[in-house]
Every structure is written in structure tokens, then in C-alpha cells.
Amino acid sequence: MVPEKCRILTFLASALVMLSACNHSDLVGPAKLSNSPNIMLILADDMALSDVGAYGGEIDTPNLDRLATEGLLFTRFHSSAMCSPSRAMLLTGVDQHKNGYGTMGEYLDSSQVGQPGYEGFLNNQVVTLASVLGQSGFSTYMTGKWHLGSAALPSERGFDKTFILQQGAGSHFDATGYASAQSTVDYFRNGEAIELPDNFYSSDTYTAEMIQYIQEGLNLGKPFFGYLAYSAPHFPLHAPTELVEKYEERYMLGWDSIRKQRHDSLKRKGLINGEAIMAPRLARVPVWDDVSDDEKKYQARKMAVYAGMVDSLDQNVGKLVSFLKSVGEYDNTVFLFLSDNGPEANDFTTYPYVPAASDWIASTFDNSYENLGKKGSYIYYGERWAHVGAAAQSFHKTVVSQGGINVPLIISYGKGLPKNKVVREFSSIVDIAPTILDLVGVSHPGNEFLGRNVHTMDGRSMLPYLQGQQESIYPAGTGGGFELFGHNAFISGNWKILRLQEPYGDFSWGLYDLDKDPAELNNLAGQNPQKFRELVDLYSEYAANNGVIQVPEGWKMFENLGGPGQ
């Protein structure tokens, strides 16, 4: 075939694709996006709300703090209680029980296997932000952790350029995995398997790749959607030695003192009620003063490694901001920073109840004090420090208490949003996608995209509220439901109902006023029976509308382990 005919056929094929998109969705064409802002969506992995300096933490996060000062700091933003369901909702605006992550694919109950919405990968009944924005004239880039299954990589779900970790955990220095059954993990660039460079450190490499993609796309004259999905500070904890040494002495104060400092700081900043009571110490966490001197030193270094990971992540956000300023794109970029769930409490070295992980770690890695945080170590910070991250809350990741789902959110865009404002309204991770689409003037395709049926979004755009056009994000009598591993919750305004499986609760509903009681200590169901019944009914409606399959009472997460990836 002669070159001219090739060019004509290529042009006709492209035109047919665009016509198909127009027939099946209400998309805004590239010509209408000349003034559209870029979107930079930054996700941390297992980072607690109080880890960020702007929220009262002692870790140095000046770049995130600056974004908060130049934008909006959310105190009542919620994710799922684990990463894959959160990531699936983040990219689609569709509830986890419909997008393929009704639960973690590794922890399916027999009643959930094969059921719609419980596929264990991002299913084909949803369309990603990248697909919608890509069809609307955006360049779309992703670097970092995918963990939405191997059935389709991000290069097949709307992203133009990608550099990703497929699985949910792994060394931050190389491709070492997370258990005997997954001793190595997989990295892909643009859908092709790759070997990691010798100088790999996850946060540095993900950021450098994102900057490179944006740089290469500048001459296209298109806005970009960047999704920078850090795997820090998820276990195994690894950080540059100089950052570990920076924090080690700081954490010799111990988890009791640091936790109280964070709680007090949240109060001073007005981010929680001044009369709020801190939740009791977790049952297995000893009093710091009762720990031996050698153990204090070891534990302080573990937390110092974690802090170093957060510090490094923040430094990389700073590199990205500096780059965008240098190319004149900073002022035209919306920044969104959030975490996928609360702090991780599991520690398969302290409590070796998953031999596939704990035995493998014991036989493979050097977790001596001198080697903590270095390549060849494999550690967690566990519930002893996780309950510090959840300073104002109860419990942690995997649980739909506030400690598991109340996470940081910072949104900064000087051209179109307020600055230095605290947002105390309830919001949820399903609200991010509709808010982004609203910000750039692109419509979701509804229930059909490029000829296939898809779910409409469950989330609400926060933009009308943020721009002062609405009094709240969620009107009275509405809110958001949460379910994972048989734990249940519903939040409406400042009210929350919560029902937790053992060992976190007795599986009976309680009603809590989150304004006064963010730690969910005072059950007000008996004092407010009408509000209690209203929220129970709202949860029942939520569960029915989203196809929630409730596991039996007494269900245990690790007894249903198909693979330890998180």
C-alpha cells in the first residue's frame, strides 16, 4: 500500500473513533479545552491523616503544607479501608461494590466469588477518568502503583504513557516482592514488562517518570491528566539513610508522647473539637515506658524509616511543583493530594499469623537494627505506630472506623478555588472523579461509553460547594456508605453509624457525632433513636443499591486469604 493511502485510511479510522465517542457520550472536544487546567492527582499509600504537617504531624512535609496553604484542607474526607477499592473508586467515581472491588481480590469470601462487582479487578462496567479525559483531548499519564488487577493494565484503561508497579506491595529499592508465593513483583512501561534501573527508589523514580512524560507532551498543546500513585509509605518500610537518621532521635519520645502531641496539635489547629477525647491505646500496644531500652531504640528507628518515606514523598512533590513552575504550568494545574486509606497496623514479623509472609521474611531478610530501612530489610511499623497515625481516631486500615477511612485531602488551584481554607463537610473518594470532570468542563458519558454499558458515577462534584454555590456537598438526608470485610458504616453530615466485626466490635450498630467525637467512643443511638433509625435505613438502601454481599458475622480476614497482597 502506498504511503498516501495509509495516511488517508489512518485519518478515516481516527475520525470514526471520534464519531463513535460523540455518539455514545457527551464529551468536550479538544478545541474547547484550550483554557482547561491540567490535573495532577497525587495518591499516597497507607498514609495517615496526621502524618502531614498541615494536619498536625511532626514529619517535615513543607511542600504538601504549602499546597494546603494555597488551597483547601479537608478534615472529613473518606476513602475505603483498603487500597484497591479506594483506587478503583478514585479513578471511576463508582462505588467499589460495582467497579470490581466489592472486597479485596485476595480476601474473597466464598459467597462473593463470581458475583458482579466482586471480580477482583477493575471491571469493564466502569470507565476511568483517563479514558474520559483522553477522549476529550487530554494527554493522560500514570506512574506508580496500579494494584487494580492484571486483566487490564492502565495502558489499556485510558492512559497514554505509564510506568507502573502491577501488584500492591514490594521493595522500594528493587523488584523484590512480599511473600514466598510472590517473591518478585512486576513493573511495566506502556504495557511492556521492564527491568528496574539500578538506582531505583520508588518515590524518586515515579516522580522522574511523571516529569518526563509531562515534559515530552508540552509541545502537543494539550492539557494533561497526571496520576502519580506513590507506593510510599506502604510496607516494606525503606528510606534513604540520611532521612532515617534525621528522625530517629525524634521518635525516642515513644508512641504515647507522639500520639498525644498529634492529638493536641489537631486541636490547636481547630481540625478536631477542642473537647475531643483520644481513643484508648490499642490492646496489644504496650506503654512506651514499659518497653526495654533496646526495644525503644529499635522501634524508634522503624518509625524513623516510615517518617523518612513520608519526607521523601513530600520532597518529590516539591520536585514536581518546581518543574511545573519552570515550564509555566503550575498556575494552570489543579493539585489533588490524598491517601488511599488509614495507617497500616498489620505486622507479620511481630505477629506471624501468615507464614507465607512471616517465614519468608525471617529466612530472606536482615532486619537487624543497623539494616532497618535499607535494601535487604523488610519491616512494618505495625499497630504500635499505626495508632499514632490515627491520633484522633479509632483503629486503622482494614476497618471502616474513622482510623481506617478518614484520610487527608488537599486540593489546590489558585485560579478557581479558595485559598487557605479548611473544609469540614463530609466527602468521599467517589467524589473526586466528578469533581475533576466538573473542574475541566467535561461530562461523564453516563451509562454508555464507546459502545459498552458502564455505570454512572455515584459520587458528587464538590465544585459547587467549594465555589460557594451550594451550602453543602451532600444535602441533608443523604451521605455515603462504607463496607469492607463485613464492617459497615454510613455517614450523613456529622452523624455516623458504625458496626464492626470482632475483634473491633460486637457487630451491633452504634451512632456517633463525629463533630464532637471523632474517635467514635460515645454511642448515642439510645439518645437519638430517630437519627439512628434514619441512618440504618440509609445504609440498607446503600447496600441494596450497590449490591453489597455481607460476609457472615465472625468472618476473619486472614482465614480467607488467597494471597497477601495489599
**What is the tens place of the pLDDT at every residue in 390-441?**
999 999 999 999 999 999 999 999 899 999 999 999 999 999 999 999 999 9
Q: Under a CB-based contact definition with an 8 Å cutoff, are residues 499 and 520 in contact?
A: no
Q: Residue 507 carries which DSSP code?
A: S
pLDDT recorded at residue 352: 78
Active-site residue, from 24, 78, 83, 487: 83
For residue 313, give the nearest of 116, 65, 91, 565 by alpha carbon.
65
Cell of 301: 528507628
pLDDT at position 371 = 97
Angstrom distance (rounded) from CA 545 to CA 137: 33
User: In this predicted structure, what is the pLDDT of residue 357?
Assistant: 86
234: annotated active-site residue:
no
Report the pLDDT value the prediction gives residue 314, as an integer from 0 to 100.
Answer: 98
pLDDT at 28: 37
Bridge partners (DSSP) of residue 489 are 482, 498
- Chain position carrying cell 525503606: 238
- The helix (H) or strand (E) run that includes residue 302 is helix 293-326
Burial (0-12, 13-18, 19+ Cβ within 10 Å), 521? middle
Question: Could you count the other beta carbons within 10 Å of the beta carbon of residue 346?
Answer: 21
d(CA 216, CA 481): 41
Evaluate the CA torsion angle 296, 173, 50, 394 in order and state its sign. negative
- Match 487494580 to its residue by C-alpha cell: 148
Rounded Cα distance between 340 and 47, Å, is 8
How far apart are the C-alpha atoms of 243 and 305, rounded to whole Å?
7
- In the chain, which stretches have pLDDT less than 70? 1-34, 559-566
> In a 3-state reduction of DSSP, which class is residue 463?
helix
Euclidean distance between the first and final Cα of the chain, in Å?
50
Cα angle 362-363-365, degrees, rounded to a multiple of 5: 70
Structural domains present in the chain: 37-560 (3.40.720.10)
* Dihedral sign, Cα of residue 282, residue 481, residue 486, residue 86: negative
Q: Confirm if 288 and 256 have CB atoms less than 8 A apart.
A: yes
Angstrom CA distances, 277 to 124, 264, 280, 505, 545, stand at: 45, 10, 9, 19, 35
* Active-site position among 24, 97, 147, 387: 147
Over the stretch 532-555, which tens digit does the pLDDT of each residue have? 999 999 999 999 999 999 999 988
Q: What is the pLDDT of residue 381?
A: 94
- For residue 184, report the phi and psi dihedrals to the nearest 5 degrees: -130, 155
CB atoms within 10 A of CB 261: 17
User: Environment class of residue 180 by beta-carbon count within 10 Å: exposed (0-12), middle (13-18) or buried (19+)?
Assistant: middle
Radius of gyration of the chain (CA): 23
Question: How does DSSP assign 224-260, residue by residue?
Answer: EEEEEE--TTSSSP---HHHHHHHHGGGGG-HHHHHH
